[in-house]
């Protein structure tokens, strides 16, 4: 095979890595991830899953023509339905983006070190069961913290205790309100989460 033919072969036969996103709500982070990988040669969002049939993230996925799947608590915790779907689609990385349920053991065992989450605080501070969204930001303000930020981490069997992959932070200024620190945190999430995912995907090659 000549060098041109080899180049042509690899250009058109590179298999993209496949990402599945889990989300429970609006899905603003999911939106940024779908935008980031829409024209990527390295990876694609292959499926969006939700435990909430009314979640707006499902509409966001539809706008990108990405398949969706909705499951209930029984399907998630008592069966292998979700695991089997992910395996049939050859999913390489599972991304939690505002997903509020604890990941079950069967998912962790079938996708070791391939499930990541983003949390709106500088873990280990302000993490754990029940700590999400405004609850986190209110706790940060109540504690008079001088800085705030985000953490991207691997997922294990406990809420927000997996190995930290990346953190970004910002200073809380005197007079900052809940809406201000929430906005600043979301800006960091939207900026860094897609990039961290891309870097992880490259390591899987």
Among 146, 170, 151, 197, smallest CA distance to 30 is for 197
Dist. CA 156–CA 102, nearest whole Å:
9
Dist. CA 28–CA 6, nearest whole Å:
40
Marked catalytic residue, from 36, 69, 74, 119: 119
The reply to whether 119 belongs to the active site is: yes
Query: Residue 18 CA to chain centroid, in angstroms?
Result: 13
The H or E element containing residue 76 is: helix 73-78
Dist. CA 86–CA 44, nearest whole Å:
14
Dist. CA 16–CA 128, nearest whole Å:
34
Catalytic residues: 119
């Amino acid at each position: 095979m000549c060098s041109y033919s080899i180049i042509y072969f690899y250009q058109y036969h590179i298999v993209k890595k496949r990402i599945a996103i889990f989300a429970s709500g609006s899905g603003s982070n999911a939106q940024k991830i779908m935008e980031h990988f829409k024209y990527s040669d390295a990876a694609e969002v292959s499926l969006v899953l939700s435990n909430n049939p009314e979640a707006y993230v499902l509409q966001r996925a539809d706008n990108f023509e990405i398949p969706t799947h909705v499951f209930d608590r029984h399907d998630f915790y008592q069966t292998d339905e979700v695991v089997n779907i992910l395996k049939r689609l050859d999913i390489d990385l599972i991304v939690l983006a505002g997903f509020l349920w604890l990941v079950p053991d069967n998912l962790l065992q079938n996708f070791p070190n391939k499930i990541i989450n983003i949390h709106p605080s500088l873990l280990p501070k302000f993490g754990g069961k029940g700590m999400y969204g405004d609850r986190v930001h209110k706790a940060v303000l109540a504690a008079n913290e001088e800085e705030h930020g985000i953490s991207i981490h691997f997922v294990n069997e406990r809420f927000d205790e997996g190995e930290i992959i990346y953190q970004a932070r910002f200073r809380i200024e005197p007079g900052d309100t809940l809406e201000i620190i929430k906005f600043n945190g979301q800006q960091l999430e939207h900026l860094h989460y897609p990039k961290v995912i891309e870097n992880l995907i490259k390591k899987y090659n």
